[in-house]
């Protein structure tokens, strides 16, 4: 079924190609270029095979952080305000899906937001109830906690034979991102409307926070 849908989509695209769009079609038929990581070198040690490179990346990128010089405790923190928490609406679920990039890199399941848009258009009510149940119970499915890790080049580096010239990225499940986006928007709404942020706080604030109701 999926194979037939892909074939129909491709044939439909080819039937509508006009003028310069033919070059777009040609580009789609070519395999993506894959840059091979050059041999890595750290302290006169060279890594040429995949396994040794992984070890070198892990030691350089995921090294233990320095010990903190300050301590912080939540024991003296008092919660003197209670905020209402309304049921998740279908509008929130729809916005979380359609306001995300359709071609945003997917996680291990390969499902991106373009696919989820089609799912929402087909079964909006069941999909909305799914996230209502997940957020009501406070459960984030175990399978959504997985990620595909990738190491990519930092731009404009003079030497790509050192592991420090690369950075890691985690490709998360787009389904899991939906609930995360809903919660993030609600927390931003509460922080803005309930005076939880200092008036001088500028960074990390949304210009416009959507209402939860």
Give the predicted TM-score (pTM) of the model.
Answer: 0.70
* Domain of 96, in residue numbers: 86-197
Question: Residue 98: pLDDT band by 50, 70, 90 thresholds?
Answer: very high
Q: Do 105 and 112 contact (CB within 8 A), yes or no?
A: yes
Residue 103 counted as domain residue: yes
Q: How many domains does the chain have?
A: 1
Q: Six-digit token pair at 72?
A: 């912080």
Q: Are 88 and 182 in contact (CB under 8 A)?
A: yes
Compute how many other C-beta atoms are within 10 angstroms of the C-beta atom of residue 120. 21
Contact between 149 and 169 under an 8 Å Cβ cutoff? The reply is: yes
Q: Could you give the CA distance from residue 144 to residue 163 in angstroms, rounded to a whole number?
A: 29
Nearest to 150 by CA among 57, 59, 41: 57
- Per-residue pLDDT of 24-39, as tens digits, reads 777 777 766 667 888 9
> For residue 106, what pLDDT is reported?
93
- Please check whether residue 50 lies inside any domain of the structure: no
For residues 179-200, give the mean pLDDT: 86
> Is 53 within a domain?
no
pLDDT tens for each residue of 99-136? 999 999 999 999 999 999 999 999 999 999 999 999 89
Residue 43 lies in a domain: no
Nearest-angstrom CA–CA distance, 75 and 97 = 38
């Amino acid at each position: 079924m999926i194979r037939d849908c892909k074939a129909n989509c491709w044939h439909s695209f080819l039937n509508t190609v006009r003028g310069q769009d033919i070059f777009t079609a040609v580009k789609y038929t070519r395999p993506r270029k894959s840059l091979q990581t050059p041999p890595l070198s750290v302290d006169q040690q060279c890594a040429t095979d995949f396994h040794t490179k992984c070890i070198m990346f892990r030691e350089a990128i995921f090294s233990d952080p320095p010990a903190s010089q300050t301590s912080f405790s939540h024991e003296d923190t008092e919660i003197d305000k209670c905020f209402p928490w309304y049921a998740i609406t279908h509008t929130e679920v729809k916005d979380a899906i359609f306001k995300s990039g359709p071609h945003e890199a997917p996680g291990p399941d390969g499902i991106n937001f373009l696919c989820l848009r089609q799912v929402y258009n087909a079964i909006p009510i069941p999909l909305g109830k799914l996230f209502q149940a997940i957020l009501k119970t406070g459960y984030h499915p175990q399978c959504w906690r997985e990620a595909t890790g990738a190491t990519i080049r930092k731009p404009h580096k003079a030497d790509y034979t050192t592991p420090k010239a690369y950075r890691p990225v985690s490709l998360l499940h787009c389904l899991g991102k939906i609930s995360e986006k809903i919660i993030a928007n609600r927390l931003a709404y509460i922080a803005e409307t309930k005076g939880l942020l200092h008036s001088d706080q500028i960074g990390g604030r949304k210009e416009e926070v959507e209402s939860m109701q």
